[in-house]
Amino acid sequence: MQTLPRFEQQYPIIGPALVAVADWWRRRSVVRESLTDFDACDPAERRRIAGDVGLSASELQALACRGPDAADLLPRRMAVLRLDPKKIGRTDSRVLQDLQRVCALCDSKRRCAKDLAHKPRDAVWEQYCPNSGTLGALQAAYPSHP
């Protein structure tokens, strides 16, 4: 049986755009389902859940709106800075959780993704990243060895 080439190869002009839209729609659907589950919770239960993870109920709702991949740029930035999230998580789990929360709520994701893709070592990210101070402190606390 002959296999068909990937959609992007069959339709090189519009294929990548359609795949991107489909991926966006899937992610949006996951967020909608999460929000429906979250909205179904009793307000007291929401406050309890938020307290369990060290957030306010409004912060938890804002994070739920951002979706499950909202902090995906953080490990990439940490890799550029030669910081090991697993090591930091073992020794400073609250700091790592705070980094993830701040990254997830950041409004500069598009710029950050572009900078990580095209000029990851350029220090311009420090001007807009709300985690830049914490990441700088972690670099001092966890010096890397080339």
> pLDDT, tens digit, for every residue of 101-114?
899 999 999 999 99
SS3 1: coil
Is it the case that residue 1 has pLDDT exceeding 60? no
pLDDT number for residue 14: 62
CA–CA gap between residue 143 and residue 140 (Å, rounded): 6
**Which of 13, 32, 35 lies closest to 24 in space, CA to CA?**
32
**Helical packing angle, 15-40 and 57-66, nearest 10°:** 150
In the structure encoding, which two tokens stand for residue 67, read together?
A: 């979706």
Helices 73-80/93-105 angle, 10° precision: 120
- Residue 47 pLDDT: 83
Question: How far apart, in Å, are the Cα atoms of 124 and each of 5, 7, 102, 111, 115?
Answer: 40, 37, 18, 10, 8
13-69 residue pLDDT tens:
665 655 666 666 566 666 556 556 666 778 888 788 778 777 788 887 777 777 778
pLDDT score for 124: 96
Confidence of residue 9 (pLDDT cuts 50, 70, 90): low
Q: Please state the pTM of the whole predicted model.
A: 0.67
Amino acid residing at 44: A
> How confident is the model over 103-127, as a mean pLDDT?
94
129 pLDDT exceeds 80? Answer: yes
